[in-house]
Structure 1
């Protein structure tokens, strides 16, 4: 009986070593929580702008061709807001992930993290170019669900190189993006749920599952 347990433990250790060599497992759940909070603040800023503006609010939710000045102002504002949120989320995510990797005695920049980064980058870059095309053709409202869909596809693609829990988050992002394509008036709500609430829930679940014991020790 004890011999079989030893064999099982050996197989478990071998599997763990193989996962560590092929997957990036230092992603911190707190990175997701921080990204979600930052995203909610960014959506809040857009919502305040939407409530205060004098031109048609439907620009955010369904096909409307605004004037050249209105379009330029709106696009500049949305891109600035998105870039600020992205940079802050990346900085916070990098901080928590590096901290976790150091606690594990692992390197952040290795073959696994490079594979993960490339898997995420291709769908995200493609989605970004699609959004630029929509903006060029005055389809600003389509950029909201498109960002969610391609972000979800990026998570699905990247889940092969990290915790499989990321896959579930990817499916949820895609579902929200598709839903906001067909239901008028929920683009900002979908953004808040996808980039904000889901990240917080995912991050807390990841922290509880993988990090709670080490953080509270």
Structure 2
């Protein structure tokens, strides 16, 4: 009996330490929703290409004009904001059900660790836009996003680093297929997010 209580106490202490050192309320459903939003965005971008008379899958490198790139950037920002909002809603609901605070010192450290490489990548992509190096933006976004995920693993679920590794590898591969960023975005921000989200939802529900 004493042995049983001892192991229960250890389990309780371990759980408390885990909660205090890691943000464990990330929702797998938020990943699924973010992935769906990305795929819808990719579909809309493809519609824009059709409107502009661009055959995206003609087998050649795709280089776009400045006006079109600006429109694509706006679509990307809308997708990002949609994903962030859905992530907050799903995560807040999960935190409430578990009786955990969504905003504490661990959350602050998580956001800071995640934001530094992400902001760096954002500024880098703005520089690419400024110099009209549009075809490099897709690889850069995937790589810097992957680095941000791997960095954030320290303060949240360790599984997130695997999503980060996949994004980095995908971004590196896309460096050799410039002009096909839409396809790699669909895979990275769409399909990988959905697969990761479903796995995390099943594992941590």
TM over 0.5: yes
Correspondent of 2:73 among 79, 87, 90: 79
2:51 and 2:8 map into 1 onto residues whose CA distance is 62
The residue that corresponds to 1:168 in the other structure is: 162
Matches within 5 A, 1:13-162: 13-54=12-53, 62=61, 64=63, 70-71=65-66, 73-162=67-156
1:56 and 1:33 map into 2 onto residues whose CA distance is 29
Select between 27-36 and 73-82 the one with higher mean Cα deviation: 73-82
The residue that corresponds to 2:5 in the other structure is: 6
Query: Over aligned residue pairs, what C-alpha RMSD do you find?
Result: 1.9
Answer yes or no: is the 8 Å Cα contact 2:35–2:192 preserved in 1. Answer: yes
Q: How many residues get paired?
A: 203
Deviation at 1:143, TM superposition (A): 0.4
Answer yes or no: is the 8 Å Cα contact 2:62–2:180 preserved in 1. Answer: no
Deviation at 1:56, TM superposition (A): 8.6
2:55 and 2:201 map into 1 onto residues whose CA distance is 42
* Superposition TM-score, scaled by structure 2 size: 0.92
Question: Runs ≥4 in structure 1, deviation > 6 angstroms?
Answer: none
